Amino acid sequence: MSAFPRTPNTRPLPNVGLPTDPDYEQRLAEFEARIEAGEKIEPGDWMPYEYWRQLVRMISQHAHSEVVGMLPEGAWITRAPSLRRKLILLAKVQDEAGHGQYLYHAVETLGVDRGTLIHQLLEGKAKYSSVFNYPTLTWADVAMIGWLVDGAAIKNQTMLAHCSYGPYSRAMVRICAEETFHYKQGKEAITLYAQGTPRQRRWAQDALDRWWWPALMMFGPHDKDSPNTPALMRWKIKTKSNDTLRQEFVNEIIPELMAVGLEIPDPDLRYDEETGNWLIGPIDWAEFWQVIRGNGLMNQARMAARRQAHEEGQWVREAVEAYARRHQARQAPEKIAA
Ligand code: FAQ
């Protein structure tokens, strides 16, 4: 059962308004006027239940994506081709953990603690980005993730930096700054491979062949199949739709990939002079839904790795709690005794 039912029967926080409240319509009008005026909604401000639900859903999925997203690249830390590349990769994977932290904090401002969210993830009840259920077979895959996956993430998150919920928008500003470095190091590494030996060029092309479509799927289903977009756009959580962002990304990345001599793995790709858009062929949505339902190549391995990390981290959580108790006791011994 979902932790966030569509029809609320309980109020999750005192400031969350239910449609059955007598003053709901008036407060909703005031809330929407604030959003229309470009004000940020902050923790503790009145908000409709559906706004709260959408934020918890989306930010928690985003947090899980950052954390699970450490795994495909993390697998290559011990196999990096040079010390420089190893240092860059270590820093990148550590950044992703930090992004997960900011985002879990952002959900906590909505009254849902991270323990609950992590439990949902480990139980297989929470979603995370489909793209992290594909394997990293070569070092070029790691570089391609930086260029393509971080590139797609930045496109989406630059929009979210303008979203109406204050804590989420502020987290995005910092995350985008860090992702920009991730993107640049991936582009640099692939550019070197694309201009390198025949084998390196093959690795770069092979990585693009396998990551191209999963990266485009990151933007979510077509707008007509996206049930959440209307509410998200109404309240400016999203300010651009899935298809709009995907098209913007495609228009930007295709000339960049072509410039280093890579071939886009899409036989239907064509440039439309009239609109200035690169038009892509059909996306395999059956594959996308299979991956989201847990049947992708790496879903089981990703969840097994997360569960193992969680179990192995138990002593750290216990130590932190013991330290916090001792620190608290030193600060206020009389309160603890009481
Ligand atoms: N994967 O109605 P919509 C990163 C689900 S961060 C899995 O269109 P919405 C950093 C969707 O949740 C990458 N599920 O949904 C990094 C919904 O299910 P629900 C993550 C997906 O919310 C880089 C259902 O399908 N970024 O990469 C996906 O309007 C490198 C219907 O879809 C974010 O999370 C998908 N791709 O639009 C880390 C950004 N797409 O919940 C390491 C924040 C859709 O109703 C290495 N999120 N679904 O059961 C968003 O912007 C939006 O949530 C979308 C989806 C655009 C992802």
**Digit-coded pLDDT (tens) for 162-186:** 999 999 999 999 999 999 999 999 9
Instruction: Indicate the residue type of 41.
Output: I
Nearest CA to ligand 1 atom 31: 226
Cα of 128 from ligand 1 centre, angstroms: 7
Q: Is 151 in the pocket of ligand 1 (CB under 6 A)?
A: no
Residues 162 and 198 in one domain: yes
pLDDT range class, residue 51, cuts 50, 70, 90: very high
Neighbouring residues of 13: CB distance < 8 A, sequence distance ≥ 6: 52, 110, 111
Specify the 3-state DSSP secondary structure of 47: strand
Number of structural domains (the chain) is 2
Cα of 4 from ligand 1 centre, angstroms: 17
Question: Over the chain, what is the mean pLDDT?
Answer: 95
How far apart are alpha carbons 136 and 74 in whole angstroms? 10
Could you tell me the residue range of the domain that residue 325 belongs to?
Answer: 298-338
Residues 220 and 162 in one domain: yes
Residues 261 and 146 in one domain: yes
Nearest CA to ligand 1 atom 15: 228
How far apart are alpha carbons 279 and 269 in whole angstroms? 6
How far apart are alpha carbons 76 and 173 in whole angstroms? 28
The reply to whether 1 falls in a domain is no
CA atoms within 13 A on the CB side of 207: 29
Residues 164 and 311 in one domain: no
Single out the residue of 131, 120, 102, 133 nearest to residue 57, CA to CA.
Answer: 120
Q: Answer left, alpha or beta for residue 220, where phi above 0 means left and psi between -120 and 50 means alpha.
A: left
Q: Which of 283, 313, 329 is the last residue of a domain?
A: 283
176 and 157 Cβ atoms separated by less than 8 Å: yes
pLDDT range class, residue 2, cuts 50, 70, 90: very low
At residue 206, the pLDDT reads: 98
Cα of 181 from ligand 1 centre, angstroms: 22
Q: Is 218 in the pocket of ligand 1 (CB under 6 A)?
A: yes
- Report the percent of the chain where pLDDT is more than 70: 96
DSSP 41: B
pLDDT range class, residue 10, cuts 50, 70, 90: confident
Residues 279 and 303 in one domain: no
The reply to whether 198 falls in a domain is yes
Residue 250 has pLDDT above 90, yes or no: yes
pLDDT tens for each residue of 99-155 = 999 999 999 999 999 999 999 999 999 999 999 999 999 999 999 999 999 999 999
Residues 188 and 304 in one domain: no
Residues 24 and 125 in one domain: yes
The structure tokens listed for 53 are: 């639900």
Residues 50 and 133 in one domain: yes
The reply to whether 2 falls in a domain is no
pLDDT range class, residue 4, cuts 50, 70, 90: low
- Which residue of 4, 61, 125, 293 sits with most ligand 1 atoms within 8 Å of its CB, as the best mutation to test the pocket? 61
Cα of 73 from ligand 1 centre, angstroms: 19
At residue 18, the pLDDT reads: 95
Atom of ligand 1 nearest to the CA of 218: 36
Residue 270 is inside which H or E element, if any?
strand 270-272
Residue 288 has pLDDT above 50, yes or no: yes
Residues 153 and 97 in one domain: yes
Residues 26 and 173 in one domain: yes
pLDDT tens for each residue of 212-244 = 999 999 999 999 999 999 999 999 999 999 999
Nearest CA to ligand 1 atom 8: 226
Q: Which domain CATH number covers 138?
A: 1.20.1260.10
Other CB atoms within 10 A of residue 151 CB: 25
